[in-house]
Amino acid sequence: MDDDLEKLLREALIDEVKRLRAGIRAHRDAQGHDLCWYHPALWSLLPEKTDPVPRVPEWPRFMEGIHYRKSLDEQAPHARRADEPFEP
């Protein structure tokens, strides 16, 4: 899957690492509601070009599955809390 990397010269590999790091940092630095969305920009950093369409649960199932937010309480209990409304 990553055979393309075998053919890159050192400089091109460094450029690729910088590009990937920039994408990871942009995702890492997302805040609030931006953490919860579809992330095609992050996925586009991969060489294989796909546009995965997510399977979206119905609302009742979705509300049962708020484990990500619950896990933040456990993994980052001292994280700042935000109370801004979502603005698309």
> pLDDT value at position 14?
97
- The verdict on pTM exceeding 0.75 is no
Q: Where are the domains of the chain?
A: 3-75
Q: Are 85 and 33 in contact (CB under 8 A)?
A: no
> pLDDT value at position 86?
75
> pLDDT value at position 63?
83
CB proximity list for 57: less than 8 A, separation 6 or greater: 65
Amino acid identity of 9?
A: L
In order along its 88 residues, the chain shows pLDDT tens digits of: 899 999 999 999 999 999 999 999 999 998 877 777 778 888 889 998 887 778 888 988 888 878 878 888 999 999 888 888 877 7
